[in-house]
Amino acid sequence: MKKLAMGIDIGGTNTAFGLVDEEGTIFCESAISTERYKKFDDYEAYVKTLCESMKALISSVSFDFELIGIGIGAPNANYHKGTIETPANLWKFRDDEPNPDESRRMFYFVDDVKKYFPGVEVLITNDANAAAIGEGVFGNAKGMDDYVVITLGTGLGSGIVSNGEMIYGHDGFAGEYGHIMVDSRATGRECGCGRRGCLEAYASATGIKRTAFELMAKMNCDSELRDTPYSKFEAVMLSMAADKGDAIAKEAFRYTGEVLGKALADLVATTSPKAIILFGGLAKAGKHIFEPTKWYMEENMLATFKNKVDLLPSGIEGENAAILGSSALIWQKQQKK
Amino acid sequence: MKKLAMGIDIGGTNTAFGLVDEEGTIFCESAISTERYKKFDDYEAYVKTLCESMKALISSVSFDFELIGIGIGAPNANYHKGTIETPANLWKFRDDEPNPDESRRMFYFVDDVKKYFPGVEVLITNDANAAAIGEGVFGNAKGMDDYVVITLGTGLGSGIVSNGEMIYGHDGFAGEYGHIMVDSRATGRECGCGRRGCLEAYASATGIKRTAFELMAKMNCDSELRDTPYSKFEAVMLSMAADKGDAIAKEAFRYTGEVLGKALADLVATTSPKAIILFGGLAKAGKHIFEPTKWYMEENMLATFKNKVDLLPSGIEGENAAILGSSALIWQKQQKK
């Protein structure tokens, strides 16, 4: 019988899910709102709606198949424990709640989904790890035992694979490469984590936007970028401006590539991957981001590793990359059986 | 029959080797000079002398035993290929040799030893990885699947274990954490690798000595450290001075701990180990180095990881730690069978 795995991508706005076969074909997909259930008390209703919607999707398939498992990618997810822990944008306390105890926001997501799907394997990991497993099973890291996926979205996430295994670390939270410190001075950029100078404050869609605004202050040249306020500014505008030769946009990419390239040279010295895959919104800027990143990575590389590591685009990226990545959690385990 | 593994530690001055049982007891040991064979053309004679000396040691054992393998720790060793590649201080070209081709200094050490011990398993890895495996099999990382060993000697080496496996990386050279860049400015300290600002130029026995000399220039206080020239200065003098409250020595340890602690916080964000073990000469300074390192590591840690990671001393350190570590390469494989 045909085997299919369910992949679920939990985002702050929507939760998308779909049924995927071992070739990476998505047979059908659907989505529910995550935002509608953003309060702490909405969590149970969210799980119920999600599971019932998945059951409806499963019923809609016109042929017989075996559901071999459910893979989930979510922010702050812990593979070892099957939990989502104190996520920044999900199931939050009400603003007027007195002294909310953040430690209560520990959601046993895998167990809760299993209640609706008894006997089905359910696995969860964070979005960057899911992307990394997706690249390994379906994308540009197929057949590699040692590689890294860097997701360049609102923040910078990383999934590090060594000896053919995802590095989850002792507590299940490894791979927070966005929070290595690249500027430890008091003037380092504030990071969402509460510290300063983290890599993701520079190398991410948000990071390059911050750089562009610094450059508008620093440089005197004309630029169409000066017509958009910070609150409306999106990183994709920098790609479009760079295509047209805008000096601020070009310098913003160069600087971002410098910070990211240096950080990747350090990561290579640490884990020596065969390839590093850049994934996510900012990676779509193509040569604008790849060229300076590659140049600074090689420039700062220990001689042993020079010209050995490929810097690659995603091989699964598209609207459904996150569903593919989450389903790959299940397919990867299947391949190892 | 009793099983024993041979552990070999190849240093620039001597090569020590010994027979080790599964409890980590060294039954007998011996050594030959490495320095005597430091020329490129001496390599074959070195291997012959080493292997014949090992055979003599084996013959000297008064009871019957099975030699289950030979584990080797050496600088620039590659686990995957069984090689020692362009080592800085071993089997060098003569100074008057015209245009020596460094790529010829690729020594197939495992194969060469096997010629003398046909049928015996021979494994090689670099010294820091051997120390890490030694801690896992016999020392303070026993039973851990995710841990890091940092060796603080002349340089800074690292062995990173995740999912119970040493991270060798794609090319077998992973774990060069001494060469992450902690100061990318043009004023960063020159490193032996030819670049500037590498971690080991600050956090190592040599690094803290460099710091002490910077501080002698910067600070005005009296200090007995001022009586020793750079060429005669050893890091252990800083421990002794710090014990007596010397202000320069204390500041040198604080600064070294700051640089190392920050770098370890980044390593925790990357691989999330259960423990980090400080190994080697500088680690013997005890609280002088552990206290500031721990403080700055926690201070710079992403909240997720705070107060979760143990900073531990070596559990095998002593004169024979390197023999134990190398033999552990064999014992580790035995345990997995």
At B290-311, the pLDDT tens digits run 999 999 999 999 999 999 999 9
- Any idea what DSSP says for residue A197? S
- Any idea what DSSP says for residue B241? H
What is the mean predicted confidence (pLDDT) over B204-214? Answer: 97
Q: Which part of chain A is CATH 3.30.420.40?
A: 2-134+320-336, 144-313
Residue in chain A lying closest to B299 (CA): A195
Euclidean distance between CA atoms A224 and A247, whole angstroms: 10
pLDDT at A102: 83
pLDDT at A231: 96
- Any idea what DSSP says for residue B59? H
Closest CA to A134 of A269, A307, A18: A18
Q: How far is CA B262 from CA B146, B186, B269, in A?
A: 20, 21, 11
Tell whether B182 lies on the interface with A, counting CB pairs under 8 A: no
How many inter-chain contacts (A to B, CB under 8 Å) are there? 141
B165 interaction partners in chain A (CB closer than 8 Å): 162-163, 165
The answer to whether B104 and B156 have CB atoms below 8 angstroms apart is: no
Superfamily of domain covering A2-134+320-336: ATPase, nucleotide binding domain (3.30.420.40)
pLDDT at B97: 82
What secondary structure, in 3-state letters, does A103-129 show?
HHCEECHHHHHHHHCCCCCEEEECHHH
- Which residues of chain A from 285 to 324 reach within 8 Å of chain B, CB to CB? 300, 302-305, 308-309
- CA A230 vs. chain centroid, Å, equals 24
Tell whether A195 lies on the interface with B, counting CB pairs under 8 A: yes
Residue in chain A lying closest to B87 (CA): A304
pLDDT at B335: 82
Q: Is the pLDDT of residue B286 over 80?
A: yes
**What does pLDDT average to over chain B?**
95
What are residue A34's phi and psi, to 5 degrees?
-90, -35
pLDDT at B126: 93
Residue in chain B lying closest to A270 (CA): B175
The residue with tokens 């070596």 is B314
- B83-85 β-sheet, strand order: B77-78, B83-85, B106-107
Residue B143 neighbours by CB under 8 Å, 6+ apart: none
pLDDT at A135: 96
Indicate which of B185, B298, B304, B312 best probes the interface with A, i.e. most A CBs within 10 Å of its own CB: B304
SS3 call for B198: strand
Euclidean distance between CA atoms B89 and B87, whole angstroms: 6
pLDDT at A110: 97
Percent over 90 (pLDDT), chain B: 87
Beta bridge partners of B147: B161, B275
Answer yes or no: do B165 and A168 touch at CB < 8 A: no
Answer yes or no: do B302 and A184 touch at CB < 8 A: no
Tell me the residue type at A303.
Answer: A
Give pTM, 2 decimals: 0.93
Of A170, A176, A269, which has the smallest distance from its Cβ to B269's Cβ?
A176
Indicate which of A179, A196, A199 best probes the interface with B, i.e. most B CBs within 10 Å of its own CB: A179
The sign of the torsion formed by the CA atoms of A236, A237, A242, A247 equals negative
Tell whether A267 lies on the interface with B, counting CB pairs under 8 A: yes
pLDDT at A113: 98
Q: What is the pLDDT of residues B127-180, one digit of tens each?
A: 999 999 999 999 999 999 999 999 999 899 999 999 999 999 999 999 999 999
Q: Is the pLDDT of residue B203 over 90?
A: yes
CB burial of A64-75 (b: ≥16 within 10 Å; e: otherwise) equals: eeebbbbbbbbb
Helices A205-218 & A235-243, crossing angle to 10 degrees? 60
Tell me the residue type at A251.
Answer: E
- Any idea what DSSP says for residue A146? S
Domain B144-313 in this protein, CATH class? alpha beta
Quick one: residue A314, left, alpha or beta (phi over 0 = left, psi -120 to 50 = alpha)?
beta
- Any idea what DSSP says for residue B168? -
pLDDT at A94: 85
B303 interaction partners in chain A (CB closer than 8 Å): 193-194
Tell whether B265 lies on the interface with A, counting CB pairs under 8 A: yes
Q: How far is A38 from chain B (nearest CA, A)?
A: 22
CB burial of A177-208 (b: ≥16 within 10 Å; e: otherwise) equals: bbbbbbeeeeebbebebebbbbbbbbbbbbbb
B269 interaction partners in chain A (CB closer than 8 Å): 176-177, 179-180
Q: Give the ipTM.
A: 0.93
Answer yes or no: do A176 and B303 touch at CB < 8 A: no
Indicate which of B144, B267, B270, B297 best probes the interface with A, i.e. most A CBs within 10 Å of its own CB: B270
Radius of gyration of chain A (CA): 21
Answer yes or no: do A174 and B271 touch at CB < 8 A: yes
Of B160, B171, B266, which has the smallest distance from its Cβ to A181's Cβ?
B266
pLDDT by 10-residue block (mean), chain A, 337 residues: 96 94 94 94 96 97 95 94 90 84 91 97 95 96 97 94 96 95 92 93 97 97 97 96 98 98 98 97 96 98 95 89 95 85
Euclidean distance between CA atoms B313 and A95, whole angstroms: 46
Q: Is the pLDDT of residue B317 over 90?
A: no
CB burial of A301-315 (b: ≥16 within 10 Å; e: otherwise) equals: bbebbeebbebbebb
Answer yes or no: do A304 and B271 touch at CB < 8 A: no
pLDDT at A220: 97
What is the mean predicted confidence (pLDDT) over B191-204? Answer: 94
Answer yes or no: do B303 and A170 touch at CB < 8 A: no
Beta-carbon-side half-sphere exposure of residue B313 (alpha carbons within 13 Å): 15
Radius of gyration of chain B (CA): 21
The answer to whether A285 and A240 have CB atoms below 8 angstroms apart is: no
Residue A318 neighbours by CB under 8 Å, 6+ apart: none
Answer yes or no: do B303 and A145 touch at CB < 8 A: no
Contacts of B101-105 with CB under 8 Å at 24 or more apart are B104/B40, B105/B40
pLDDT at A155: 92
Of A169, A303, A304, which has the smallest distance from its Cβ to B271's Cβ?
A169
Answer yes or no: do B162 and A169 touch at CB < 8 A: yes
pLDDT at A184: 84
Tell whether A269 lies on the interface with B, counting CB pairs under 8 A: yes
Closest CA to A157 of A209, A208, A200: A200
